[in-house]
Amino acid sequence: MFKSISKTFRSKPIAVQPTVVGTDLINQKDLVATLKTGSTSARIAAVRQLTSSIRTVSISSIPELWFLAKQNLELSNSDQLRLETFNLFLTCIEASDHSTPTKMAYYKDILDYLASDTDYSVQSLRLLTNDGRDLYDLLIYQPYPFFKYIWSTLNNLPKREESQTEFALFLANCLKFNFNLFESKDLANLLSKVLDLATLATNIDTLTAYFQIIDTYISLGCVPPSSVRDIVGILGKAKQLGNVQLDHTIDGILVALLSSPNYSLLTFVRCTEIIGAEEKPAYGCLAFVRTYLDYYRDTSKVSTLVTDVLETAGGLLVPAIASCPALTQPGVANAICSVVLSLLNLGLLSQQQLTDARFWNCLIAIDCGSVDRSTVAELFDRLQAVASPLSREHTVRLFEKNRDVLSESQLDYVIDSYSSELRCVAITENWQQNCEALMSTFGTTDKVLAVLELAFFESLDICERREPLGHYLDFFLNDGFWSLAGYRETLAKILLRVDEQLLELLVAKFPSAAAFTQHVVYSLLVLCQSSRNTRKAGAIFDYLLKLASSAISTDHDTFLTVARLMARARPADDYIHFVDVCDVDGLCHNLARNVGTGHTRDESWKWQYPETLPYLPRELLESCSHRCLKRCDLSDWLELVVFTLETFVDWEVYSFMLGHLCPQLAYSSLFPSHDQILRLLRTLCHQLQLRFPSSFRPVAVSKTDVQVALIRTLSAIPAYRAIFSRTEEDLLISSVISALKSWDKTGIPCLHFLIVSCYEFSASIKRFLGPILSILQTRLSAAATAAPILDLLFSLSELPALISNLTTEDYKRIFAIAFKYIEYSKDSFQYKKEHDVDYLDSSLDRLPSTQSFEVSQQLLLFLTAMSYRAVCGWFLKLSMDQRSQLVDFINKNLVALGLEDTKNKVHYEAINRFVTADNSTRQIFAPDTEIEQDKDYDTCHWLHGDGLLTVASHRHTPKSLLTLRRSTAIDRFEVRLPAQHTHASLRPSFVVSALLGAQNADLKPLEMDDQVRRSVAVMDRIPVVNLHKIGVVYIGPGQTTEKDILSNQFGSDAYEAFLTRLGKLIRLRGCRDYYVGGLDTQNDQDGEYTVHHHSPVTHVCFHVTTMMPHGTDDAVSSKKRHIGNDFVNIYWNDSGEPFLFHKIASQFNFMSIVIEPCAERCYRVKIFRKAGIPAIFSTTHFKLISEHNLPSYVRNVSTLCGQFCEIWTNSDWQFNWERRYRQLQTIRARAK
């Protein structure tokens, strides 16, 4: 042997080379010694060397080589040495020839050295027998036949699951390829042992291997009948594991069983037995039954065998299912439902079985909530479909038990039994118990509610006694129904149908919870849809008011539910009705609850604005009858409001009350108690001065924000002016002044209120005017307050009675304020952007006045215009003596601003003219230039300073006409000489020299060529005053369409009275003295008259639609042509409906000033603004104005709005005086 090895080593260039192990050189001679007596590490190295040599070198006798090394497999050796030797063994087996002696020699070594190590023995045997295919020689080996090894190993399997699996897989192959070589008795014993092991096995791979062995037995038809139940039980248990690999093997075995004539019937019978008796394998056996059902009448795979089995033994299945001990297991329950469904679909259940109580008890015992919903749904559908009168009771019981999984159809099926059999009607025996059973079984659902509702109304019609009907009320008041969408409708129907006796009983039972109160509120709105429900509506309203009183300190959710309704109450003669919330945008914004202006809802909020509430639907509010709820005094409600404000209660309650009080408070007829109003006034005033209750704790807002809301609430106070003494008025104004000087944020609403107070509380304003002016001059510096301050100054200038006590120093303050804003606008202009006006955007701007906005160039121009207007307006209000005292102060400020600026220059000219002329702007339009062309007149022109002087002398009379055109005025004089002078000497040059001096250096003759004449004509077309045109539209009761509105010939008496004081009535035909805003002045096409107002520096023409022609479509179109082109329109809204912006659609309408009747002789005035227009006007939030002051207030507001819109839409806007000055400079330049 060694020679052959040596030769081999020498003959190959790749022969194994001696390897150094430690310091020893291993060679052929040392090999034997090393393998026998060498150290463990040396032997490991030698074994590795031999393994490598066998794999890489051709060796003649491998078994001989193995002989040298096999003793190293002995158990006494180290694990590493045994492993290396085992690897050598496998290499030897693989490299050896397959002769029987060699094979048997190796087998013997396996038995000698590896029998106790299952892993090593199985691995070597698989290699030796070609993975169990070649067993013959081993089976007949007499010293130790192969079966003996198998049996010994099966009885001594290692605990390691992987080892068991490997052996089972090897055994499966051995049986698969050598089944007939085994003895019958050995096979029987082997199957029994495998079944025992399979019963205990938990590893999926091990079970799969065992099932492969079982599959071999079944395929070869060698399973004893006595073992079938065991096999079915084992497979059934394994099926419950839910492993895909294992299920695939099990399904294959089952198909083999059911397709076998020997086993098909027996397997089905054993399955039914196990289902009815055993718990663990029940699920799998039900799955097997389901497989049988799947193959029913399918002859493509199993011929008719399965069909015959089911038709023969199918009757065993229902009793088995009925007695199944594993019914409560979800998987088993699901499988049973699936099997029963298949039986129904296949028609394998007889009517006798369908009426068997055991069958139904089984289904009822199943928890269908754990079963697949689609399976249950389909099963119940089939049971409902096959139900007969005999099984209807069972079906209803099953459905009642499983109501949570019923479909609408099945619910109807069960509930229909209650309705059709009148089980809940009061005339039926045990009707109360039936109602309770219905509710306990199916819960408080819409279906159940519908049954009870129908039963109640039927009982209401047939029962004479009212006592039983009271029990229905208890059912209806069950809190489980409250969350149903249809519950509020049911409650409303009940309230509509019951008589007063039952109504009183029902109201007495009402729970006070907020969830239920919402339904009561909704029901009240339903009652208020008709005037026939007056008494019922009154009872419910009184209940809600009483509930609010009791809940205000204990249940804020309930209180707020009622408060939402109460805050919507509005008067209609002696009745009240309910409307949708409006005019609280700004209030809610300041209280951080307006989600439409940037606030994000917080989960802790109990209210927000706007909010869509299902129990306060807009459609019911809009259709609420004005003749149903006969309540005209809401003093009880106001008492709760005042209590909330006085004591604070809770922030959610306080903020809601403050956020919603103002619009309702404007209707003074609702609150006739003078004491309450005075308490409310004092409370508001004290808190304006930051004198809050000790418990006051605002959330997410500052006290300043609360002050702003308080100020805005005061907008409704003028409705109660008649009950205030001078002391209360002074308290009111002083409180507002206190808030005015507190923070910049309070400045805007305070100023807006003071503007209104100039008209409504003039005496107190006059008293505190000095402190107000001081604050305006020194404390308020924010840009946002500029417009309101100037608006206030403008209003004061229009009310002479207020300013009669002002001193020279007061006037200087006023002028200083105006000059401050002129300077601010001038300095800021270049840093601001121009606002892009979108004429096509018709949306409404809802931002409150206190929300910051970007200051644009147009806004600065508007502030500039208002400031100069304030200077001129106030100066013209002064007496001539006062003007003389203040002219130097004003001139000084204009010079400081820079006379190089045209604005300052022209106003400097105007002020100095006004010092000596009380009304020097009388001549508004261009002079009659026809005289200048008359041949009877000799006309000459001179440039005189910054003016153009024209003298026209009559050739035949001693008369001359002098016209002086200046930037700020047109002056015209007529000069006549005494009779003794002849007309021949009265030449234009004579008149000029006589009046101005012959050598006057300022006089420069002007040659009037065509170019100069055209320039003069352009200047003549520029008016010397501000011109505004404003539409006035009347909306009659119930009118909503544009055509109806524009077809009005006249308005209400109040509207007509308003027009008479809005301005002067002027005749249009031939009108040349007044600005008519584009109205026809020749043919009365736009009516005979219109309303006009003028001041020394302003002319306003009102386009009054009721004064224009009517009756034809052309007339309507003509009205719209004027109204549609007016930037500002005044709407007198008597419609009773909320005003809609752009009611008369036009892209040029930027502001709508809406007047609506409110309290007695008081009117709500509010501006609706086009998107993008800042909220800078006093009526951005509605204001209440008395009838007496309404025309002057609206006129002033509309004029300011008109001025604003002109500038807003024209970034190049200039004063008319500026334009005239520039044109005059053009004439001067051309004259040179």
Taking only the tens place, the pLDDT of each residue in 625-674 is: 999 999 989 999 999 999 999 999 999 999 999 999 999 999 999 999 99
Residue-level pLDDT at 1096? 86
Output the pLDDT for position 15.
36
Residue with tokens 């109204």: 1123
pLDDT reported for residue 560: 98
Confidence of residue 973 (pLDDT cuts 50, 70, 90): confident
Task: Report pLDDT digits (tens) over 878-911.
Answer: 999 999 999 999 999 999 999 999 999 999 999 9
pLDDT in the model for residue 26? 45
pLDDT band at 12 (very low <50, low <70, confident <90, very high): very low
314 vs 1035, which has greater pLDDT? 1035
Most confident among 320-329, 638-647, 930-939 (mean pLDDT): 638-647
pLDDT tens, residue by residue, 808-830: 999 999 999 999 999 999 988 88
65, 5 contact by CB (below 8 A): yes
* Residue 344 near residue 383 (C-beta atoms within 8 A): yes
- Which tops the pLDDT comparison, 1106 or 1142? 1106
Percent of the chain scoring above 90 in pLDDT: 47
Is a pLDDT exceeding 90 seen at residue 1052? yes
Q: Is 314 helix (H, G, I), strand (E, B) or coil?
A: helix
At residue 1168, the pLDDT reads 93
Q: Where residue 1080 falls among pLDDT bands split at 50, 70, 90?
A: very high
Lowest mean pLDDT among 26-30, 103-107, 135-139, 291-295: 26-30
What average pLDDT does the segment 506-517 reach? Answer: 96
47 and 14 Cβ atoms separated by less than 8 Å: no
Residue identified by tokens 């006739």 is: 672
Which pLDDT does position 881 carry in this prediction?
A: 92
Q: How far apart are CA 1175 and CA 1173, in angstroms?
A: 7
Q: Which of 156-170, 301-315, 661-675 is modeled with the greatest confidence?
A: 661-675
Yes or no: say if 1071 and 1143 are a contact pair by the CB < 8 Å rule.
Answer: no
- Domain positions in the chain: 766-833+854-917, 930-1020, 1026-1208
Mean pLDDT of the region 113-119:
85
Percentage with pLDDT > 70 across the chain: 95
pLDDT at 704 over 70: yes
pLDDT at residue 11 in the model: 34
**Residue linked to tokens 């015992």:** 365
pTM: 0.71
Predicted pLDDT of residue 741:
85
Average pLDDT over residues 45-54: 86
Closest CA to 579 of 531, 523, 625: 625
| Residue 698 confidence (pLDDT) above 70 | yes
- At residue 29, the pLDDT reads 59
CA 240 to chain centre: 48
Q: Tell me the one-letter amino acid at 458.
A: E
Q: pLDDT at position 1105, please? A: 95
Q: Does the pLDDT of residue 24 top 80, yes or no?
A: no
Q: What is the mean pLDDT of residues 193-209?
A: 89
CA distance to 23, 681, 714, per residue, from 720 (Å):
121, 10, 11
More confident site: 853 or 432: 432
pLDDT confidence of 494, banded at 50, 70, 90?
very high
Q: What is the pLDDT of residue 752?
A: 94
What's the pLDDT band for 749 if we cut at 50, 70, 90? very high
pLDDT of residue 926: 62
Instruction: Check residue 1056 and give its pLDDT.
Output: 96
CA distance 518 to 610: 18
pLDDT of residue 527: 96
Asked whether residue 770 carries a pLDDT value surpassing 50, the answer given is: yes
pLDDT for 1139-1160, tens place per residue? 988 778 788 899 999 999 998 8
Q: What is the model's pLDDT at position 984?
A: 55
Least confident of 290-299, 720-729, 1090-1099: 290-299
pLDDT of residue 985: 56
Fold adopted by 1026-1208:
Rossmann fold (3.40.50)
542 or 56, which is more confident?
Answer: 542
Is the pLDDT assigned to residue 3 strictly greater than 60?
Answer: no
- What is d(CA 160, CA 946) in angstroms, rounded to the nearest whole number? 118
What is the number of other CB atoms lying within 10 angstroms of the CB of residue 500?
10
Over range 984-991, report the average pLDDT: 75
Confidence at residue 1031, expressed as pLDDT on a 0 to 100 scale:
96
Q: How confident is the model at residue 979 (pLDDT cuts 50, 70, 90)?
A: low
Average pLDDT across the chain, whole number: 88
Q: How far is CA 722 from the centre of its chain?
A: 45
Q: Averaged over 183-195, what is the pLDDT?
A: 90
Average pLDDT on 403-420 reads 85
Residues 904 and 1001: their CA atoms lie apart, in Å, by 25
The pLDDT of residue 5 is 36
Cα-based angle 235, 241, 247 (whole degrees, multiple of 5) = 60
Statement: residue 401 has pLDDT above 80? yes
pLDDT score of 983 more than 80: no
Of 526 and 10, more confident: 526
Distance CA 1146, CA 839 (A): 9
Residue 932: per-residue pLDDT: 66
For 534-562, the pLDDT digits (tens) are 999 999 999 999 999 999 999 999 999 99
What is the Rg, in whole angstroms, of the alpha carbon atoms belonging to the chain?
54
